[in-house]
Chain A
Amino acid sequence: MSAYNFAYLDEQTKRMIRRAILKGLAVPGYQVPFASREMPMPYGWGTGGVQVSAATLTPEDRLKVIDQGADDTTNAVSIRKFFENTAGVETTEDTSQATIIQTRHRIPEAKLTEDQILVYQVPIPEPLRFLEPRETETRKMHSLEEYGLMHVKLYEDISQHGAISTSYAYPVRVSGRYVMDPSPIPKFDNPKLEMDAIQLFGAGREQRIYAVPPHTKVVSLDFEDYPFEATKADHCCDLCGAEDSYLDEVIMDDAGNRMFVCSDTDYCRSRREAGHIGPMGAEDAA
């Protein structure tokens, strides 16, 4: 693929993005504006994540792409192919083998290490956006640490539903300073945000990059009498029997039958290969 520069973007653009990433890492949770480029995919399909990945990739990297935890859905497959074609890097579905993982809406179940980078695709980076539509005002609120409004949203949840019903994109406070939208990951994944790997967040349409460095304190916002709870379906995986993984609910037929399976396909596969079997799993499924 000599028609493209390595990883699609030209070197000057990657340099610009890397500067934004470094700034983001230096100020954890702060949304760094960057000159987002037009990518060969529509907005909302991960243009921000792709640009961050492109700027982070080196020829020696091994890339994994997941979409809602799965390696084999459209979004994941096409982005993985995109980098196979334009960067010629090795790809993998194995979480532990990957050096860079681009993700949409999940954090892998397997514990990530210090040699790995997790890149998130972010639709709307501003956690205060739906409460305060003015960008000038939200920037001021961030700079002055005026985060009372974020709790108004949680208050509304409790007053309407009796519990904090926000189940994804659950707001967090990073390093005791910036309130951040962790992208639409389920709140089950929020405790995992304190991890050993570098986490980078790219929002292409909104032109923002932010980051959480390794071992950074990330606190999910809550009330004293309604503490944060990482919730998942009260079930085990029907294929691999895992009790500790986030589950997708799959409707089986019109008669109301359903099954729960790990949303992280690699985690489920590796467990089945290790001999774990869930209630609906078959001996030879793996």
Chain B
Amino acid sequence: MTPLLQVKGIKKHYGMRIGCADVSFDLYPGEVMGIVGESGSGKSTLLNCLAGHLPPDAGQVIFDTRVDGPADTVTMSEPERRMLGRTDWAFVHQHARDGLRMSVSAGGNIGERLMAVGDRHYGQIRDRAIDWLGRVEIDESRVDDRPTAFSGGMQQRLQIARNLVTGPRLVFMDEPTGGLDVSVQARLLDLLRGLVREMGLSAIIVTHDLAVVRLLADRLMVMKDGHVVEGGLTDQVLDDPQHAYTQLLVSSVLQV
């Protein structure tokens, strides 16, 4: 099987400081990869390099495109990369405000990607927006409300709907549950798990919350100081951590 995403030797420096270095992995279709580590360990830098938001200093990000097969997204032209960004890729920001248009209604937010790829039928766009609101458990009557009138959890679910409406194959998530209270987190995780399984999505989830990766991720990478220190199946890494830092991380989780 061809990997959906092959990452080879990604490196990003900020001046003399290391953002992330020598990160390589393969992601197969339907697989969910978690990236954990403390603040400043290079998780977000890595994710932004993979999603094309930051140009890496070295390395390749080879994505298996629908039309042309595997192609290096770092060297492909900007129009192609941006096209990927609104069709086959999705990016869920930690703060829903970064990923939503706050001055546009929920329906318009969901419809934007459809219109960006050429959908020009209002009725159909609206039907799909309403369908997706239902799938992320937002009431249909809120379709014309602006996200400013939504709670934090609803905004995050709206952001997810807006991203998944074009049926992407790869989703990048940057701390999707950050800043939400635990009961809302639990519902959001449940929803995400359902969507990922149902749509057969591949996902890369950056988080510092080990519970999130335990629930969602098949595989896990642990980062520290810009380097990957340990990787493997999620349960294996969490239940039998080998690296000193991973052991610290696992033992730091509060037990209630």
Contact = CB atoms under 8 A, between A and B. Distances in A.
B107 A155 contact: yes
B101 A151 contact: no
Kindly name the residue among A144, A152, A156, A226 whose own CB sees the greatest number of chain B CB atoms within 10 A: A152
Interface residues of B, number: 24
Contact of B78 (A144, A224, A225): A144
A224 B121 contact: yes
B112 interface: yes
A148 B115 contact: yes
A152 B118 CA distance: 12
A12 to B, nearest CB: 37
A158 B129 CA distance: 14
B185 interface: no
Contacts of A224: 120-122
B154 to A, nearest CB: 18
B126 A159 contact: yes
B53 interface: no
B240 interface: no
A225 B117 contact: no
Interface string A130-171: 010000000000001010110110011011100000000000
A223 interface: yes
Nearest to A145: B79
B19 interface: no
B116 A149 contact: yes
Contact of A148 (B104, B105, B113, B144): B113
Contacts of B104: 131, 152, 156
B143 interface: yes
A151 B126 CA distance: 13
Contacts, number: 54
Question: What secondary structure prevails in chain B residues at the interface with A?
Answer: helix
B56 interface: no
A152 B123 CA distance: 13
B246 to A, nearest CB: 40
B90 interface: no
A146 B85 CA distance: 12
B82 interface: yes
Interface string B176-187: 000000000000
Given A144-B79, A223-B122, 20 more contacts: A131-B101, A131-B104, A144-B78, A148-B115, A148-B116, A148-B118, A149-B112, A152-B101, A155-B111, A155-B125, A156-B105, A156-B108, A159-B105, A159-B108, A159-B126, A159-B143, A160-B144, A223-B120, A224-B121, A225-B123
Interface of A: 131, 144, 146, 148-149, 151-152, 155-156, 158-160, 223-226
- Per CB-CB distance, the 5 closest pairs between chain A and chain B, nearest first, are A148-B116, A151-B115, A148-B115, A223-B122, A224-B121
22 contacts: A144-B78, A146-B82, A146-B116, A149-B112, A149-B115, A151-B115, A152-B115, A155-B107, A155-B108, A155-B111, A155-B122, A155-B126, A156-B108, A158-B122, A159-B108, A159-B126, A159-B144, A160-B105, A223-B121, A224-B121, A225-B121, A225-B123
